[in-house]
Amino acid sequence: MRTSLRATTVVLAVAASALSLTAVGTASPATAQPAGGTSHPLPYEDSRLPVPRRVADLLSRMTLEEKVGQMTQTERYQVADDTSPITTWHLGSILSGGGSTPTPNTPTAWADMVDRFQRAALATRLHIPLLYGIDSVHGDGNMLGATVFPHNIGLGATRDPALVREVEHVTASETRSSGPQWAFAPCLCAARDDRWGRTYESFGEDPRLVEQMETAIDGLQGPPGHLGDRDRVLATVKHYAGDGDTRYGTGSGDYPIDQGVAVTDRKSFWRNALQQYVPAVRQHHAGSVMPSYSSVDWTEDGVGNPVKMHGNRELLTGVLKGAMGFHGVVISDWEGIHQLPGDWPTQVRTGVNAGIDMMMEPNAYQSFETTLLDEVHAGRVPTSRIDDAVSRILTAKFELGLFEHPFTDRTDLPDIGGPAHRAVARRAVAESQVLLANHHRTLPVRPGAHLYVAGSNADDIGNQAGGWTMTWQGGSGATIPGTTILDGLRQGAGAGNVTWSQDASAPVGPDDVGVVVVGETPYAEGFGDVGGPRWAYDPGDHGVPRPVKDMQLSGADKAAVDRVCSAAASCVVVVVSGRPLVLDPQQLGEADAVVAAWLPGSEGEGVADTLLGRRPFTGKLPVSWPRTVAQEPVKGGDPHDDPLFPFGFGLTTARRTS
């Protein structure tokens, strides 16, 4: 049964008073320019023709096997040593998951690898180029030497859409100049429960704040018609829809909230999880959408039957492609359809018929292709659905200019991680700092003061970068080039004016200004859920288990705060974390100033800039800050909640003039 009309009237009508969903505007497709002034024998090869005509011509020449190949994406490790499967299976796309990199992990090696894969794709009968995707979620964090920006929660704290656009433009440039043309970013979830391990991927708890930060899409893709520029990539808004609205205790596997269920009614789902996708599609023209692992359960229907987003035809086809008028590519998450009910053929059929255009199949790509072919031959997946999916994929490739310029344009490759890009990141870090407390005008630190720096996160660039940095889960230590917060303080105050003692075991001078930098260690997805898996491994861990996340300061960090704040003339506590951490009354009472630094990335100098007064504190909380974990979920505007610091809170300071 078709659900487009029902989805339009039921799910989206609740917002009709605020936003009309009629008369959908779409971007005009980009028209490629002639390649070298030559004409081509076939219409789809003629860059002078409009994209829709080129797509229609190419589609008419494709076999079913070639079409299904275009709908298939696999991981680089499947083709790293032998690229022949790209040609044999007509693969439409390759991705790098977290930590999946060439050797050596350099920008040039990335470009060489992507171009090698591209040559295999161009060896197919119709010479259809590949799309290469990567998780550039806070810069191209998979590539050593890239500029690593604050995670989205920090960008949300800036309240600066123009800065976010600039950040993502740098991200796009560093990504595309090293080969990939597709970024699986930005995340548009509104994180409603800080116990969720992906909270830092959200711009904030309020969908209206998320909408303000959707300039990220413009930064990645550029203005309409510029997707083929050498410094732009296809953006992916994710995870559609409701991943930030899942109920604690409904997560899959050992996860208490990740990949869980949004138990809600349609009006609330629109308000909390869906509305932000309308401007992403209509105003910012997002090129692709990734469904969520989560499910939605319409409690108002009294059904109690959660539906996985990867199989939700109502929301993928009816609402996204129908009511919102999305014309781009729907790409599954990593093995997303494997979580659907039923056997493998049922999962394949359900996902494709629901509206997914390309399947991310790192391991079962061959089985996906043969199974989908069987389903089409059996009449269970209509050829019209196949043609729609492939048309969307080909449109993206034409608009990216890949048919004319399939290989990496390396013009901007020397700029990766360069001073200009790092200056943007440093400014983003400074603007993201939120001053939560500032008794006696402790901050900014007075000029010439001697600093006593302690805490687990003062000199750990891996911790300040967080997850999705070099590996999926990230890692502590010197994982990437850049500056730690300690580096920034030494450079700004002078190395002779800084005493460093991680555990605060060195003597504290009575006139010292204490700066204790505390917080979390890296994690990603469900492994960051509070109370999540006790034994979470990553290839970079070498079998070392990660601690259970609890939103509390570690014992060592609490001890460092106690030692420094009890002895120093004044004391600043800086919290480096992907979400609010519980600050017990003792620590709050000891501290003269408290700063939320979030996950600043590679440029710790930006934190030092605000502490030392080189830049003012201007950041505002993107999420409410709870008093206890038991308060969660705590959200701004709820009269029953009593957060320690409310959504939007943030003290300001003036920039020092001397």
Query: Strand 434-438 to strand 593-598: parallel, antiparallel, or no bridges (unpaired)?
Result: antiparallel
Q: Which residues of the chain are modeled with pLDDT < 70?
A: 1-40, 300-303, 534-546, 637, 639, 656-658
Q: Which two tokens stand for residue 210?
A: 């998320």
Q: Which DSSP letter does residue 603 get?
A: B
Cβ(547)–Cβ(473) below 8 Å: no
The pLDDT assigned to 384 comes to: 98
Q: Which DSSP letter does residue 243 get?
A: G
Range list of β-strands (E), 159-227: 182-183
The pLDDT assigned to 302 comes to: 58
Task: Return the biggest CA–CA distance within the chain.
Answer: 82
The pLDDT assigned to 449 comes to: 97
Q: Which two tokens stand for residue 594?
A: 């408290």
Residue 435 forms part of a structural domain? yes
Between CA 59 and CA 171 the distance in angstroms is 32
Lookup result for tokens 């808004």: 237
Q: Give the HSE-up count for residue 651: Cα atoms under 13 Å, Cβ half-sphere.
A: 16
Residue 139 forms part of a structural domain? no
Chain CA centroid to CA 289, Å: 12
Residue 488 forms part of a structural domain? yes
Between CA 15 and CA 41 the distance in angstroms is 50
Residue 475 forms part of a structural domain? yes
- Render pLDDT for 313-340 as a digit per residue (tens, 0 to 9): 999 999 999 999 999 999 999 999 999 9
Residue 105 forms part of a structural domain? no
| Tally of CB atoms within 10 A around 635 | 21
Of 487, 446, 455, the C-alpha closest to 563 is 455
Q: Catalytic: 258?
A: no
Residue 48 forms part of a structural domain? no
What residue numbers bound the domain in which 539 lies? Answer: 420-631
462, 463, 464, 467 alpha-carbon torsion, rounded to 10°:
80
* Residues constituting the chain: 658
Cβ(369)–Cβ(89) below 8 Å: yes
Q: Which two tokens stand for residue 377?
A: 């031959």
Q: Catalytic: 206?
A: no
> The dihedral of CA 453, 455, 456, 462: what is its sign?
negative
Q: Is 289 exposed, middle or buried (0-12, 13-18, 19+ CB in 10 A)?
A: buried
- Render pLDDT for 266-286 as a digit per residue (tens, 0 to 9): 999 999 999 999 999 999 999
What DSSP line would sit under 46-110, residue for residue? Answer: -TTS-HHHHHHHHHHH--HHHHHHHTEEEEGGGTSS--HHHHHTT--EEEE-TT---SS-SHHHH
Number of domains within the chain: 1
Distant-in-sequence, close-in-space partners of 388: CB < 8 Å, separation ≥ 6: 357
Between CA 333 and CA 75 the distance in angstroms is 12
Distant-in-sequence, close-in-space partners of 496: CB < 8 Å, separation ≥ 6: none
Helices H / strands E in the chain, number of each = 21, 17
Lookup result for tokens 């004391």: 571
Domain of 482: which CATH number?
Answer: 3.40.50.1700
The pLDDT assigned to 30 comes to: 34
Q: Which two tokens stand for residue 159?
A: 């309240």
Beta bridge partners of 329: 288
Residue 455: helix, strand or coil by DSSP? Answer: coil
Between CA 395 and CA 376 the distance in angstroms is 22
Q: Of 75, 333, 590, 603, which one is the catalytic site residue? A: 333
Angle between helices 383-399 and 51-61 (to 10 degrees): 130
Tell me the CA distances in angstroms from 191 to 151, 271, 391, one per residue in order: 13, 13, 34
Residue 99 forms part of a structural domain? no
The pLDDT assigned to 2 comes to: 36
The pLDDT assigned to 9 comes to: 37
Q: Determine the residue type at 476.
A: S
The pLDDT assigned to 540 comes to: 52
The pLDDT assigned to 542 comes to: 54
> The dihedral of CA 417, 421, 426, 429: what is its sign?
negative
- Render pLDDT for 101-122 as a digit per residue (tens, 0 to 9): 999 999 999 999 999 999 999 9
Q: Of 525, 529, 605, 632, which one is the catalytic site residue? A: 525
The pLDDT assigned to 33 comes to: 39
Residue 472 forms part of a structural domain? yes
